[in-house]
Structure 1
Amino acid sequence: MRIKRILATTAALTCLAALPACKGDGQAAPPGAPASSAAPAGAAAEGALAEAQRYMRQFTGCEDLGTKPDDPRMPRGDFPKIGQWSVTEVGVCRDGGGQGDIAIAVPKDMKAFQAGYKQYVMDRISGGDGAYGLFSNVLVGKGFVAFPTSSKTAMALLRSDMRVLVCNPGGRVPEGYKREKPLVEGCGLTDFFAAEDGSGSPNFETPQDPAGGGEKLGQPKTGSLGLARAGSIAELRKLVGNSLDCEKHFSTDPEAVAIESIDYQPAVKGNALDWGITDRALCGQPAGAQRAVNLSWLDTVGDMKKLQTRAKAAQQADLKDDGKLKATVSMLLVGENIAVETNSPSARFGLYQLQFLYLNCVPGFSAPSGYRLEKAQVEGCVLTNYEPEHPVR
């Protein structure tokens, strides 16, 4: 996966209400009643599922429509069941050209569906899966929702009026793609499809060498693709709220901020002012009756060069022991005028989506094509979203 393909939080589309399911005689079928157990490719079956099939077949394959719950192609887990999120019908068809399947859900109330999906994403994030929903395969159509298993199928469907529903606040839409208003706040609808394996929509913001000098993708010779910014600790807390344990466990008290444990050590040691930091806060639960949990530190920075210089010296001192950085010491991720210290790989993954980059001062470090690699403000260091110990594929 290429991290820079990640989605952004703003986007959305107005979706129409679900189409009614009808029997062959034109009478409305009861909620959840299947039109048939399977509809051949050329069958003229009635109902919302058949309407969805006919629509999608204008853009990609959707053959062998089935509605039986025990159909082996029917997805498990994250796919909504009848009665969930106002869904009244479910089905699945095959896209031979895209070499995948398309699950279909027909909600009675599209707004209720989007609200239900958003809550599900938020629950997963609160449960520790901060990246859930960044690679959404939930495509909203007019009266139905499709869940394609193939990137090729998804991108074919996005040539229609269908849009990807993204409710993870860390999602990002690159320039050149649509951002349209959804039916619920906090989600977005877009024609950008991000895939973990990099097979999704191309990111047109990928920097290119105008002279054709063979510059690696994601590694501009000068400048930056952009970094996170906040005007205060309060703004920074809000910005990183879904990546770190800051909503319920947060303190700016100097004694609390100075806390560290054997499992969680800050990158910044001693007087924070000597590091160019103007304000500082602690997220997570300090040790009490039990060991500390999810400690991370937030910093507003008045002198970024001073911060990076001190951090470089600390990394080099750590490397002298065994050539490795201590796993319990937080890694320093920087923005334009802010920084976050955390030793949680999952938290850092979420922060990379928010345009933070890790200050890496390991000699000889390089990043593969597709990852960001930019100049730091101090010689001998780079800013990157690539971690050799935790590569994202």
Structure 2
Amino acid sequence: MRIKRTLAATVLLASLTTLAACEDAEPGRSATVPPGVGGPSAPAPASLAEAQKYVQQYASCEKMGTEPGDSRLPLTDLTTVGKWSVTERGVCTDRTEHGEIIFYMASDMKEFQAGYKQRVMDKIAGGSGSYGLNSRVFVGKNFAVTPTETKTALALAASELRVLTCNPTFGVPKGYKKEQALVEGCVLSDFVGSTDGSGSPNFETPQEDPAAAGGASAKPGQPAQGSLGLPRADSLGELKKLVHPHTVDCTNMSTAPDALAVESIDYKPVVAGEQLAWGIKERAVCGEMAGERRAHNLNWLDVVRDMKMLQTKAKTAQQADLKDDGRLKATASMLLVGENIAVETNNDSIRHGLYQLQFLALNCEPGFSAPAGYRLEKSQVEGCVLTNYERR
């Protein structure tokens, strides 16, 4: 059975890494620079003191300490000596920005990056799907630093250190350096993300409908295509294969009308009433429809014949929900869409799993915007966007 998927944003960007490294390289940049170790002049200090001296060229870093019990170390530190090939750890005071910078000397940078990637994957598997999107792990050839303050991270982004990001939903925004990491699934960049918008500026904006612009980008830097990449499936069977079992548990899946009509106070679908009126061709529900407990773990799968109709109806439903307090009900499902498919779920963990599959949520909140580093695209209806960012 074939699953056809449009090239996703992260895959698209990754495929251009080598080309971009050649075409966008700064004058004098060597083509033989080892990948995954930072910029062309990435530092390789022989000691923690030398690493501190390098960082001090870009940020405040005073009173280096190496004691494991140093009160300046975060309660949940990234890693410790003896793990990820870390041979020495230190912390200095970032007096200017009122924070700290933690140092990790590593004997094997590939092992360090692999350890960080595994940490990110474990956090995502545990339900923290956005973990690592706003990474503060800066790496050089043989050491890494993690500043606690965003302004310090922005200052370090001007150095030859690079931000290591391993969350699979992350894509380096246009206009920033992107380099190959030492482990597959991770990327190095000079982009600093943040949830409050105080990080690196995002030069990308929601994309216009290419048909409205004659196939050309409406604004500089925007791709001519209508999407940076969304998943596709041509039947319910293909959609189930795409999302089950790692994202949506469809062990119990039904297309029967009585099952599709099942909902509970905690599990309400986006689509209400006749599915044809929502532009849906095929529809199924996954979860526990009945039994000793009331219906639970419900998620709805849709194969869509008219995506604009579905988004238009969903927009109306969202606006009705937003009228009371300006926020969507916690029990209300969100609509996550692909090219011709959709999933309705109110489960945070499932949504983040779907974002990794390049589904995007339909958001019609007035004035909504996503911080840099998150995907933000035009939907098929005015006043809505498609995004993988969720306001908390």
Q: TM-score, normalised by structure 1?
A: 0.69
For each residue in 1:93-112, what CA deviation from the matched residue of structure 2 results, as whole angstroms up to 9, or x when unmatched?
12333432110112222212
Q: CA–CA distance in 1 between the matches of 2:328 and 2:200?
A: 36
1:56 aligns with 2:59: no
Q: Which whole-Å CA distance do the structure 2 matches of 1:193 and 1:285 have between them?
A: 42
Cα offset, 1:268, TM superposition: 2.0
1:14 equivalent to 2:43? Answer no
Bigger drift between 330-339 and 285-294 goes to: 285-294
Instruction: Trace 1:271-350 onto structure 2 (pairs within 5 A).
Output: 272-280=275-283, 282=285, 290=293, 294-311=297-314, 327-345=330-348, 348=351
Partners of 2:134 and 2:103 in 1: CA distance: 18
**How many residues are treated as equivalent by the alignment?**
337
Q: Is the CA contact (8 Å cut-off) linking 1:177 and 1:190 kept in structure 2?
A: yes
Q: 1: distance between equivalents of 2:291 and 2:107?
A: 49
Taking a change above 3 Å as real, the CA distance of residues 75 and 321 of structure 1, as seen in their structure-2 partners, is closer
- 1:254 is matched with 255
Alignment of 1:182-221 (within 5 A): 182-206=181-205
Q: Which residues in structure 2 correspond to 1:97-136 (within 5 Å)?
A: 97-136=96-135
Per the TM alignment, residue 170 of structure 1 is displaced from its structure 2 partner at its CA by 1.3
Q: 1:367 is matched with which residue?
A: 367
Segments of 5+ residues of structure 1 without an aligned counterpart are 1-6, 18-45, 209-219
State the partner residue of 1:172: 171
Verify the 8 A CA contact 1:237 1:246 in the aligned structure 2.
Answer: no
1:356 paired to 2:377:
no
Q: Structure 1's 376 and 203: CA in aligned 2 closer, same or farther, altered over 3 A?
A: same
- Alpha-carbon distance in structure 1 between the residues aligned to 2:242 and 2:62: 44
**Partner letter of residue 247 of structure 2?**
C
Shift of 1:14: 2.5
Higher Cα Rg: structure 1 or 2?
A: 1
- 2:385 corresponds in structure 1 to 383
Question: What does residue 231 of structure 2 align with?
Answer: 230
Work out the CA distance in 1 between the residues paired with 2:262 and 2:78. 43
Name the SS for the 2:336 alignment partner.
strand
Closer/same/farther in 2, CA of residues 8 and 100 from structure 1, 3 Å limit: farther
Q: Is residue 330–residue 342 contact of structure 1 (8 Å, CA) maintained in 2?
A: yes
1:31 maps to none
Question: For residue 358 of structure 1, what is the amino acid of its counterpart?
Answer: L
**Cα distance change on mapping 1:155 and 1:329 into 2, 3 Å:** closer
Give the drift of 1:67.
0.3
Task: Give me the CA root mean square deviation.
Answer: 4.2
The answer for unaligned runs of 5 or more in structure 2 is: 1-8, 18-33, 39-44, 208-218
Cα distance in 2 between the residues matched to 1:384 and 1:247 = 20
Match of 1:211 in 2: none
Q: CA deviation at 1:130?
A: 1.0
Counterpart-to-counterpart distance in 2, 1:325 and 1:100: 36
